Copies of this chain bind each other. A is one copy, B any other.
Amino acid sequence: MVVHKVTFNHRAEPVVVKSGTLITEAAKLAGIDINQPCGGQGRCGRCVVQVTQGTVRQRSALRLSAEDLSLGYCLACQSVIEGDVSIIVPEQEKIERRLVTDKTAVEVEPPRNYAPEYQQTLKRYFLEFPAPNYEDQTDDLSRLYKQIRLELGFDDVEIPLSLLKKIGLALREGDWKVTVYLDVTYQDGDKPKVRLVDILPDHCEDDSPMWGAAIDIGTTTVTLWLVDLWTGIVHAQVAEYNAQIRRGEDVISRIIYADKEGGLQELQELVVGTINQLLETACKRVKQFSVKPDDILKITVAGNTTMMHLFLGIPPSYIRLAPFIPTFNQAPLLRAKDIGIGANPHAVVDCLPGVASYVGADITAGVLSSGVDNTDLLTLFLDVGTNGEMVLGSKEWLVTCACSAGPAFEGAGVRNGMRATTGAIEEVWIHSETYEPSYRVIGGGKPRGICGSGLISLLAEMFMTGVIDKAGNLNTQLTTQRIREGDHGMEYVVVWGSESGHGEDIVITRVDIDNLLRAKAAIYAGFLVLAQSVGVHLEETDQVLIGGSFGKYLNIEKSIQIGLLPDLPWEKFTFLGNTAVKGAYFALLSQENRERIREIASKMTYIELSADNAFYEAFMSAMFLPHTDIARFPSVMEAIRQAKIPIQT
């Protein structure tokens, strides 16, 4: 076996690796973590490193200029070590801590008439036993079964090995008085399914809290609500970036990373790590009670299908390969310790059901919490993110689809795009005569890039002021220095380097505009195909419910102007925030809600767009601002008329 020495950042101790090892792998051995936002596909160019001594073999050098290459720069995820080398890893972009509570905490009231004794599957019972003696030497386990059968009527209780280890001590510490927690679920006609969740010595107070957690695993952000299952009160809401981000920014990149050796396990550990951190943080937030993660006995989890696979450590490979089949939509009920969740090890973990590879439990939970399945109104529900997932329907029927919008609205695939954190431009206005922009920056400081809402706003302003035409071409006839020829074609300068946070110009290029057009076209085409599939007109929609944390920052007017959203009266749009975690919360509280999500998942008709000609046609027609068929956007037509912009037809 040929091995080589690899020295990182001039350290004294090199690491020794097999010939053919990727630089990213070697770095991991050296304890250096190189971000790979595209999942190690060699596409994003963010894992660039400099080889200062020796050479490496580059399988791909996309995004690197001849000059970069001559200076020894290469992509760490695409370059293999074939000799002794010295490598400099530039300081990695820090994934900033999201200051979450303030931004995402929402007002939640427990459902009216919440009756835990009937609705909650987690039950607490106090049991008192006759102590054993020489005349009654019944073993502890049989004694427990017997008492549960006599007092509660359950004759089949699942007890995991790990709990069996606790029983002997608990019975004796409590002097043959214990509190047991059982998860009891009823299936039609069958005997209830009963699981022992914990056994504690002695008598707990009947109205003391019983802790549960509702979790939404987003591709970007993991959100967790800590709930008292007895009152239904949400005692803490916390969120944090999904630590998987450094291994890919979108689901496809994550799947590709998971296919690498050790990748799946690493991604699972990363997201479980994020969740465990959130459990700790949430517990500390609760002032009224002393609560620790070990007190949490029931967890519901929403998330897209890829996130669910990664969460459980199940290979997601086939999600991205036609015909796009997930291993599961409905996982079996698990225990926290099976997955490494740092709650009570025996806590039941209920992964909510999804519908398809690209319509997951975040959507079914969202439909529940937004009530789409329970209304007479023709409702369009959408969750704008990397994948525009959407549902059209009412209590009669539901159709759903997902369009691979790409991560443009999350700031990826756009030259100066960034996530919606401090330093991101979130709104832009362009003067209709000078073409000079003004903008608002998150956090108020100097701008470092443009986030999704800023990009929508910028695109709409450029269109409404004639900086670009309906096909997205920059108007070179205008008298402004901001429109110029850049390294990669025409571009518009939003911020001069002298005013930016990093000293470089912030621009939007023709390529960026194309990416944004594709993203918005995909989403609008999705709406149209859904409506066509059930024979309704999009304009007949009674209400549009927008979920996802991104939705909150969406400017309706500008979204309509670029043709992202259908041209409906503004009052028909409602932003709901994170509908997924709210759905998980509802499911956490009652079996009826949980059952409703199952019904939602099974009654939704999924339309696969990638095999749909109608979608392709709708997509091509939507590649213009706001749309080829401008008649679909009367309010925009009127605004253009008033703005007196020459629109080419």
Query: Which A residues fall within an 8 A CB radius of B?
Result: 132-134, 137-142, 158-159, 161, 164-165, 167-169, 172, 312-315, 317-318, 322-332, 334, 338-339, 356-357, 606, 608, 610-611
Contact = CB atoms under 8 A, between A and B. Distances in A.
A314 B606 contact: no
A328 to B, nearest CB: 4
A608 B323 contact: no
A139 B351 CA distance: 15
Given A139-B329, A142-B329, A327-B140, A134 B168 contact: no
B164 A134 contact: no
Given A137-B608, A608-B134, A142 B330 contact: yes
Contacts of A312: 161, 164-165
Contacts of A161: 312-314, 331-332, 334, 338-339
A159 B333 CA distance: 10
Given A132-B323, A323-B132, A328 B137 contact: no
Contacts of A159: 332
A327 B608 contact: no
A325 B142 contact: no
A134 B323 contact: yes
A137 to B, nearest CB: 6
Nearest to A325: B132
A28 to B, nearest CB: 23
A325 B169 CA distance: 12
Contacts of A167: 327
23 contacts: A134-B608, A134-B611, A137-B323, A137-B324, A139-B325, A139-B326, A139-B356, A140-B325, A140-B326, A140-B327, A140-B328, A141-B329, A142-B329, A142-B330, A161-B332, A161-B334, A161-B338, A161-B339, A164-B312, A164-B332, A165-B312, A168-B317, A169-B315
Contacts of A325: 132, 137-140
Contacts of A610: 134
Of all A-B residue pairs in the complex, the 5 with the closest CB atoms, nearest first, are: A141-B328, A134-B611, A168-B327, A139-B329, A140-B327
Nearest to A136: B323
Contacts of A357: 137
Nearest to A138: B325
A142 B330 CA distance: 8
Interface hub of A139, A165, A338 (most chain B Cβ within 10 A): A139
A323 B133 contact: yes
Given A134-B323, A334-B161, A139 B314 contact: no
A532 to B, nearest CB: 17
Contacts of A313: 161, 165
Given A138-B325, A164-B327, A167-B327, 5 more contacts: A132-B323, A134-B323, A140-B327, A142-B328, A168-B317
